[in-house]
């Protein structure tokens, strides 16, 4: 199954980076402990996956694979899936998003050509700037 690939930068030690990444995947997708989920389909198709963890400038970049179906074909739900509660955590920053081309066309037909976005884009930088608040 194709997944939305969301890259987060996490300020964590190497020893806690895996646990922090797994917690972020659960929080961004099901908002509950994964151990409490008994439905195999939910575990396989809904829960976000940690695709990779790599060191980056003293922090870690974590790539989560998020199921496109969890967006409900709604832009507002897409933003919730990407930012969600992690936006309240100062040690977590969304830095990049890659959308699977077929899922983008199916779910968001008006934006099918935009298959990549970045939290570093001018619009995102403006939204995070103190002047915008």
Domains observed in the chain: 4-132 (3.30.70.150)
Compute the mean pLDDT over every residue in the chain, rounded to the nearest whole number: 82
Residue reference for tokens 């151990």: 35
| Neighbour count for residue 78 (Cβ, 10 Å) | 20
Residues 82-115: tens digit of each pLDDT: 998 888 889 999 999 999 877 555 555 555 444 4
Instruction: Go through the chain and tell me how many residues it has.
Output: 133
pLDDT, residue 121, reads 44
Q: What is the Cα–Cα distance from 53 to 111, expressed in whole angstroms?
A: 29
Q: What is the Cα–Cα distance from 105 to 83, expressed in whole angstroms?
A: 22
Could you tell me the pTM of the whole model?
0.77
Contact yes or no for 97/91 (Cβ under 8 A): no
Query: Which is nearest to 91 in space by CA: 24, 5, 27, 25?
Result: 24
Residues 51-72: tens digit of each pLDDT: 999 999 999 999 999 999 898 8
């Amino acid at each position: 199954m194709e997944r939305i690939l969301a890259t987060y930068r996490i300020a964590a030690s190497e020893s806690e980076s895996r646990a922090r990444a797994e917690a972020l995947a659960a929080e961004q997708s099901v908002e509950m402990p994964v151990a409490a989920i008994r439905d195999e389909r939910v575990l396989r198709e809904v829960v976000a996956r940690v695709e990779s963890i790599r060191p980056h400038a003293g922090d870690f970049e974590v790539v989560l694979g998020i199921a496109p179906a969890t967006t409900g074909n709604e832009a507002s739900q897409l933003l919730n899936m990407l930012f969600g509660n992690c936006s309240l955590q100062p040690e977590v920053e969304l830095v990049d998003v890659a959308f699977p081309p077929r899922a983008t066309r199916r779910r968001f037909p008006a934006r099918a050509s935009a298959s990549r976005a970045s939290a570093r884009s001018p619009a995102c930088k403006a939204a995070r700037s103190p002047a915008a608040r």
